[in-house]
Amino acid sequence: MTLEIRNLSTPEEVRSALGAFFRSMVGLPPLTLDAATITDPGRYIGALDEGRVIGGTDSYSGYLVVPGGTRVPHAAVTHVGVLPTHRRRGVLRRLLAAQFDDLARRGEVVATLRASEAVIYERFGYGVASSARSVRVDARRARLRPTHPEGGRIVLVDDAVTTSRLRDIAGLVESPGSIGLPEPWWELQRLRRAGDPASVHVAVHRTGDVDDGFVIYRPEGSDHWFESSERTITVTDFVAANDSARAGLWRHLLSLDLVDVIDIAAVPLDDPIVVAVDDRRSLTLGPERDETWLRLIDVEAALGARAYAEEDPVSVAVVDPQLPSNSGIYEIGSKSVRRTDARPDVTVDVSALGATYLGGTRWRQLAAVGRVTVHRDDAIRRLDVLFGTDRLPFSGTSF
């Protein structure tokens, strides 16, 4: 195998890379779309064997909201695959190394991805930074409590014209873990919906004259819609910029005539819906599953960008064999983060640090299983105070 790893430069190369990705995924329905229009130009890194693309890793540019509300430059890593004919020969390792260099050159501070399997990415410095679960609502039983806010106005909109409107609404979300994605990703969503426009419903929530939330849902099994005793809608997107929008969107979903069941693929673990209904058993909560796998590309910039709670500083030694410039000791305090030569209070691998970064994994959990080495009593308690957030991180976006 004569392997060449490089950024793919032509639409033809990008098309063959996406073709190889779908081959590698086996069970993913292939897209009948032009790969070049739904990828972010210049960001696809390919592995070529005798000039033929046999694997690749891609990403979308954008931002990630970190605790405190700052938006840091972010790469949403996607389309990772190596053809079965070339697997387990170190191709992914070389692809990801090239991608780390590429992202660092672009000044991107963090990368995140959704993992097909949980055993692939930790060795490359990724950690699970947010989790999600599904919720299935029996709409015949679920009643919102009388205290549940009304929310604003709901407007049903024609999907064909809404992509930029939806993008603007998504841009208002400021909770940790939310991400911003570029035009090609939004184009991909639009094209997916355009395949079946009649069965896609888009409801936008308005507060005053500001659009501040939306849901997208579609019916399941509409061939037997009237005979079915379990008329089900699947909510593919639930985006709310504030609590009022969230409340209004839930009220809308639960007010739909003819709908017996509402399925939502992903909600945050602390979503208020659990305490919003009077009959808790009208909700079936799915198991917790990993959502955001997060890799710190620039540890100093990332740690400096997020907010911390009031607590005495802690010195954290970070070990990062793949991006050695990240390795070092950081003093993390409520007011500032700086590199230091002081003796560290704890030592942690960059993947475990990534898991804690958005406040979704507790230091105590990691220390209890030896993923943090503790050199000073009380350091873990203080880190959990510093990194604590008022809500669990959540993205809610697939890419």
Ligand X SMILES: CC(C)(COP(=O)(O)OP(=O)(O)OC[C@H]1O[C@@H](n2cnc3c(N)ncnc32)[C@H](O)[C@@H]1OP(=O)(O)O)[C@@H](O)C(=O)NCCC(=O)NCCS
Determine the Cα angle at 301 with ends 299 and 307, to 5°: 100
Q: Which of 71, 89, 106, 192 binds ligand X (CB under 6 A)?
A: 89
Near ligand X by CB under 6 A, which window of 110-118, 157-165, 222-230, 380-388? 110-118
Q: Report the nearest approach of ligand X to the CB of residue 261 (Å).
A: 30
- Residue window 62-81: x/- pattern of binding to ligand X, with contact defined by CB under 6 A: ------------------xx
Residues facing 328 on adjacent strands: 318
Structure tokens at 371: 């993923």
Identity of the residue numbered 347: T
**Sign of CA pseudo-dihedral 42, 44, 48, 51:** negative
Q: Which of 53, 54, 75, 91 binds ligand X (CB under 6 A)?
A: 91
How far separated are the first and last CA of the chain, in Å rounded?
31
Q: Which of 24, 59, 61, 178 binds ligand X (CB under 6 A)?
A: 24
Cβ closest to ligand X, residue 93 vs residue 376: 93
Position 133 contacts ligand X (CB under 6 A) = no
Cβ closest to ligand X, residue 3 vs residue 261: 3
The residues, ordered by sequence, that sit 6+ positions from 243 with a Cβ below 8 Å of its Cβ are 149, 272
Structure tokens at 105: 């050159």
Among candidates 262, 287, 259, which has minimal Cα distance to 277?
Answer: 262
Among candidates 375, 393, 327, 346, which has minimal Cα distance to 125?
Answer: 327
Q: Report the nearest approach of ligand X to the CB of residue 11 (Å).
A: 22
Position 309 contacts ligand X (CB under 6 A) = no
Beta strands in the chain (DSSP E): 3-7, 45-49, 52-65, 71-82, 110-113, 127-138, 153-157, 179-180, 201-207, 210-219, 232-240, 261-267, 283-285, 289-296, 314-319, 328-332, 337-339, 346-349, 372-374
Q: Which of 2, 10, 32, 117 binds ligand X (CB under 6 A)?
A: 117
Cβ closest to ligand X, residue 233 vs residue 352: 352
The residues, ordered by sequence, that sit 6+ positions from 309 with a Cβ below 8 Å of its Cβ are 334, 385, 386, 387, 388
Position 3 contacts ligand X (CB under 6 A) = no
Q: Report the nearest approach of ligand X to the CB of residue 379 (Å).
A: 30
# chain residues binding ligand X, by CB under 6 A: 18
Near ligand X by CB under 6 A, which window of 65-73, 83-91, 282-290, 340-348? 83-91
Near ligand X by CB under 6 A, which window of 31-39, 87-95, 209-217, 268-276? 87-95
Q: Report the nearest approach of ligand X to the CB of residue 89 (Å).
A: 5
Position 115 contacts ligand X (CB under 6 A) = yes
CB 178 within 8 A of CB 396: yes
Residues engaged in binding ligand X (CB under 6 A): 24-25, 80-82, 87-93, 115-117, 119-120, 123
